[in-house]
Amino acid sequence: MCGIIAYKGPKDAIEIVLKGLQQLEYRGYDSWGIGVKTQAGLDVFKKTGQIGKVNRSDIHLPESTIAIGHTRWATHGGVTETNAHPHQSPNKDIVVVHNGIVENFEELALHLSTPRVSETDTEIIAHLISQNMQQGFAHAVRETAKKLQGKSGFVAINKDTDEIAAVRSGSPLIVGIGENEYFIASDVTAFLQHTKKVMYLDNNEMVVINDAPHFYDADGKEVQKRIVDIDWEAGTSEKGDHAHYLIKEIMDQKHTIMAATNQDEEKLKRVADEIRNAYGTFLVGCGTAGKVCQTSEYFFSSIAHKHINAVVGSEFSNYHHYLTDKTLMIPVSQSGETMDVLDAMEIAKKKGVKIISLINVVGSTMMRESDDYFNVNAGVEKAVVSTKATTAQLSVLYLLAHAVAGTLQEGKSQLMNTASAVTDMLNPRYDARIRDLAQLLKGREDVIIIGRGANYPIALEAAIKLMEASYVHAQGFAGGELKHGPIALIEPGTPVIVLVNNDENKEATISNAKEVQSRGGVIIGVAPENNPAFSHWIKVPDVGDAAPIVNIIPMQMLAYHLAVLRGIDPDKPRNLAKSVTVK
């Protein structure tokens, strides 16, 4: 939530920061701003709205080689230019950008000599640094950081020196190392086109960039850091010929399921042993990753006959009574920065729980805080609406379930069949078919989605897709629950999407479809075969127990086309952000 980028080097700092913010916009897009250091002092330029189409010439700031920028997802204070970052100290000697929350900002504000001009918690940081400059900038930044409560990260520049200082206290900040140039950003994608060499700032550490980056612990002691090479291609994060990132990433699934299959077999078997021997395994994730966890609970149950607990990140603290040093936790997160999941990991760690995570972002906090991890290999995912990371996570957990069952090779070959079936499925005719269905649903305000077994959490996930991309009210239910309430919503014409496979749930699910049909509901069946109960049929390949991985894909496409037909930007749904780094 909120994207930060800072640059120091010989190039046009504003251009670099602008491009970096455009890469980071998925982290928040209600307003943005850039701050610079020039011979004359510090200056800022801020705007409400998205930064997407802004050009260098639109930014009225003097040339500079030191700049910091921010794209905002509002927490404290409305979406106004005044509340947009960067924030300045009253005498304009400090400029700050910030991600996260300063929980005690109201209390700190009581001791300020000059009142704040914005409603934000961030502005307090600029005031405090400015008030503490007697022993220099770095000292003032460190002393300020000590006073802040809550999880956040900030970057500051000052009027007197050419230094950039940043402190990480829970929110990610990564230092990029180029040729005589340095970057600090919330996410490597912000500077990936300039360098793939990074140094990680750990929690409660500060970095000061002057001649080179210098890292310090919370007591001010200098710490040595390694330079790490990131093996992500900048190209994978571009949308190419596609109109939106969302459809580009849906189409990427032609390759990403296969890439997810590419896991170290020895590690899969080792982790399978850990799952077999653990006194309780918890899959933990939020949003779509949470639905991946729920779906995988069914994978482990049906494939390996093993009970695994799927828990939503924000609810995990309520399970702490069950945690021991024999518990295993498998956090699942695309960004690896979701605060609720990181908090859950902290709780687990205190109880000695072993943590083996599923990550997609190399170097993310989750990766570095885990005992071990699987990279799901989906590549950069930019659209807020998660797609290819979802199927990649499902694929790895499917493999893991097979590893627990002792049928890893069987699982692997089934998954490879699934990957090639998806490649065939994602053709232009299929896309056109889904667009036609979207046309049918375009004017509807409510859509019901049902499924049984692993298709139940997939129905929940399909509902998330439709809601977040197209703002259609969609709700998923277990097929059997329909008659316990939701069936009251069915009127002639109500669209009900039914997810059904050739498994033991097929008959009961078709019965549910018929119950809806006899009350006038319009059934859209997502299934390998057509059925008289369906008014419309979306064909999916029959991939056996890997079915949830393919069933979600037409739902992602439907969400995309609905968004476009309803005139909504599918890449930037209102009120959302991709990386949720606040509670």
State the catalytic residues: 2, 578
Sheet holding 31-38, edge to edge: 41-48, 31-38, 66-72, 3-8, 182-185, 174-177, 197-200, 228-229
Among 122, 186, 295, 338, contact with ligand G6P (rule: CB under 6 A)? 338
Q: Which of 468, 470, 465 is closest to 576 using CA atoms? A: 468
Using rule CB under 6 A, residue 289 touches ligand G6P: yes
Q: Which phi and psi angles does 72 have, rounded to 5°?
A: -105, 145
User: What's the closest the beta carbon of residue 337 comes to ligand G6P, in angstroms?
Assistant: 7
Sheet holding 164-169, edge to edge: 87-88, 94-100, 152-158, 164-169, 205-209, 213-216, 222-223
Q: Which is nearer to ligand G6P, 327 or 335 (CB)?
A: 335
User: What's the closest the beta carbon of residue 289 comes to ligand G6P, in angstroms?
Assistant: 4
Q: How many residues bind ligand G6P (CB under 6 A)?
A: 15
Using rule CB under 6 A, residue 286 touches ligand G6P: yes
The CA angle 260-550-268, to the nearest 5 degrees, is 30
What is the distance between the alpha carbons of residues 340 and 330, in angstroms, rounded to a whole number?
Answer: 14
Q: Which phi and psi angles does 516 have, rounded to 5°?
A: -70, -45
User: What's the closest the beta carbon of residue 335 comes to ligand G6P, in angstroms?
Assistant: 3
Q: Which is nearer to ligand G6P, 96 or 384 (CB)?
A: 384
- Pairing relationship of beta strands 309-312 and 94-100 according to DSSP bridges: unpaired
Q: Which is nearer to ligand G6P, 378 or 543 (CB)?
A: 378
User: What's the closest the beta carbon of residue 295 comes to ligand G6P, in angstroms?
Assistant: 13
Q: Give the x-and-dash track for 159-198 against ligand G6P (CB under 6 A).
A: ----------------------------------------
Using rule CB under 6 A, residue 375 touches ligand G6P: no
Using rule CB under 6 A, residue 335 touches ligand G6P: yes
What is the distance between the alpha carbons of residues 79 and 31, in angstroms, rounded to a whole number?
Answer: 7
What is the distance between the alpha carbons of residues 513 and 532, in angstroms, rounded to a whole number?
Answer: 10
Among 263, 333, 494, 556, contact with ligand G6P (rule: CB under 6 A)? 333
Q: Which of 378, 432, 403, 413 is closest to 557 using CA atoms? A: 432
The radius of gyration computed from the CA coordinates of the chain, to the nearest angstrom, equals 25
User: What's the closest the beta carbon of residue 384 comes to ligand G6P, in angstroms?
Assistant: 5
Q: Give the x-and-dash track for 552-581 against ligand G6P (CB under 6 A).
A: ------------------------x-xxx-
Structure tokens at 364: 């993310």
Among 71, 261, 370, 386, contact with ligand G6P (rule: CB under 6 A)? 386
What is the distance between the alpha carbons of residues 523 and 535, in angstroms, rounded to a whole number?
Answer: 5
For ligand G6P, the binding residues in 37-76 under the rule CB under 6 A are: none
Q: Which is nearer to ligand G6P, 31 or 386 (CB)?
A: 386
Among 75, 132, 334, 581, contact with ligand G6P (rule: CB under 6 A)? 334
Q: Which is nearer to ligand G6P, 141 or 384 (CB)?
A: 384
For ligand G6P, the binding residues in 117-146 under the rule CB under 6 A are: none
User: What's the closest the beta carbon of residue 557 comes to ligand G6P, in angstroms?
Assistant: 16
Q: Which of 267, 467, 299 is closest to 385 using CA atoms? A: 467
Query: Which one-letter DSSP state was computed for residue 202?
Result: P
- Pairing relationship of beta strands 174-177 and 197-200 according to DSSP bridges: antiparallel
Q: Which is nearer to ligand G6P, 153 or 525 (CB)?
A: 153
Using rule CB under 6 A, residue 294 touches ligand G6P: no
Using rule CB under 6 A, residue 83 touches ligand G6P: no
Contact call for residues 303 and 401 (beta carbons, < 8 A): yes
Using rule CB under 6 A, residue 466 touches ligand G6P: no
What is the distance between the alpha carbons of residues 504 and 506, in angstroms, rounded to a whole number?
Answer: 6
What is the distance between the alpha carbons of residues 294 and 317, in angstroms, rounded to a whole number?
Answer: 18
Using rule CB under 6 A, residue 388 touches ligand G6P: no
Q: Which is nearer to ligand G6P, 284 or 522 (CB)?
A: 284
Structure tokens at 280: 């309780």
Query: Which one-letter DSSP state was computed for residue 544?
Result: G
What is the distance between the alpha carbons of residues 303 and 545, in angstroms, rounded to a whole number?
Answer: 8
Among 341, 362, 380, 463, contact with ligand G6P (rule: CB under 6 A)? 341
The SS3 of residue 509 is: helix
Q: Which of 583, 100, 1 is closest to 314 using CA atoms? A: 583
Q: Which is nearer to ligand G6P, 120 or 288 (CB)?
A: 288
User: What's the closest the beta carbon of residue 578 comes to ligand G6P, in angstroms?
Assistant: 5
Using rule CB under 6 A, residue 288 touches ligand G6P: yes
Q: Which of 569, 561, 4 is closest to 250 using CA atoms? A: 561
Among 3, 20, 35, 287, contact with ligand G6P (rule: CB under 6 A)? 287
User: What's the closest the beta carbon of residue 9 comes to ligand G6P, in angstroms?
Assistant: 30
Q: Site residues (CB under 6 A) for ligand G6P?
A: 286-289, 333-335, 338, 341, 384, 386, 576, 578-580
